[in-house]
Structure 1
């Protein structure tokens, strides 16, 4: 259920921004720089990436989030970092992988995320 919690909470740009700041370091600087290129806050950018992941991730991607979170000192931050890095790989060809965070969340019925 940690995967579900990460997607639901970090789809909000305010929560996503705080989480990215908590991750910190080069990762947070790089994400903020990429967000600024799109004239977005780091939170809005990260939330859009999380939402994109929730729609596009395959079974192995969901397992990867669970694996990243399992046993970590900060499982939500570890899982979020995995999501943000993975969705950027999945969407490299998409010039604007961000969407409106206020849009309804995609349905998770039958989603592999519930199995982790």
Structure 2
């Protein structure tokens, strides 16, 4: 998979300033270590793209935090409630989070990747 193919499949990452090709390529390279094409078969590119998207979102989050003087890389879980003055909202984060997913629960791309990985990794493999 190339950065161009990744952008075609995930157009939300089309901004080359926020998501330069070098950054996409770096995460695609990492993804090749996590997605076994023997198991993923025709879904290999999907697995590569989901891992890459997950890491790009986290990188963008860290960059946005640094831009406002925060500490990039600080670990935060999903927001479950928020209030401003007398208005508040809360979300059932457990409804969409996967159990024992840890780091992968930090983005919707990570949740999708791990969901597929668990299905694809189940069962035997004929060699």
Q: TM-score range by the shorter chain?
A: 0.3 to 0.5
The two structures have a TM-score, normalised by structure 2, of 0.34
Could you say which structure has the greater relative contact order, defined with CA pairs below 8 angstroms and 6 or more residues apart? 1
The two structures have a TM-score, normalised by structure 1, of 0.36
| Structure richer in helix, relative to its length | 1
